[in-house]
Amino acid sequence: MDVVNTIGRRKAAVARIYMKEGSGKIIINKRELENYFPLQTLRYVVNQPFSITNTEGQFDVKVNLKGGGFNGQAEALRLAISRALCEVNKEEYRPLLKAQGMMHRNPRVVERKKPGQPKARKKFQFSKR
């Protein structure tokens, strides 16, 4: 198997990954997964595609992450890993990942602030007199 290159996005975060067969190491911006995502919940989100397809410890992943916060970055990385697994074995892994919602790019982003308002939807207090 060659190196599989995919991309995942969520909010303002962009994850570019390079996946190949290996021992299960995940390197994010030249740091280990445990050092980059100190929270167990975020590490769980990143490893979800591997646990769904029963491929834990079979692939090495090198990741370039940019933008957004920790949660958006973890979900962008999850989408990129899911797409890479589908390129490895589409017939077997895609139905499993699709049923769990891993192949869907979450389109929700922050709404922009409008002029004449303090926030996107909040208005200044209205005074009749």
- According to the model, what pLDDT value does residue 90 have? 85
List the one residue out of 105, 103, 107 whose CA is nearest residue 49.
Answer: 103
5 φ, ψ (degrees, to nearest 5): -115, 120
pLDDT mean across residues, the chain: 94
- According to the model, what pLDDT value does residue 127 have? 93
Residue 73, burial from CB neighbour count under 10 angstroms (0-12, 13-18, 19+) = buried
List the one residue out of 29, 4, 7 whose CA is nearest residue 90.
Answer: 4
pTM recorded for the entire structure: 0.90
Asked if residues 51 and 102 have their Cβ atoms less than 8 Å apart, the reply is no
- Cα(34)–Cα(111) distance, integer angstroms: 32
* pLDDT tens by residue, 47-99: 999 999 999 999 999 999 999 999 999 999 999 999 999 999 888 999 999 99
Q: Is the pLDDT of residue 1 over 80?
A: no
Asked if residues 56 and 79 have their Cβ atoms less than 8 Å apart, the reply is no
Q: Token pair 């939807």 is at which residue?
A: 121
- Enter the tokens of residue 121: 């939807």
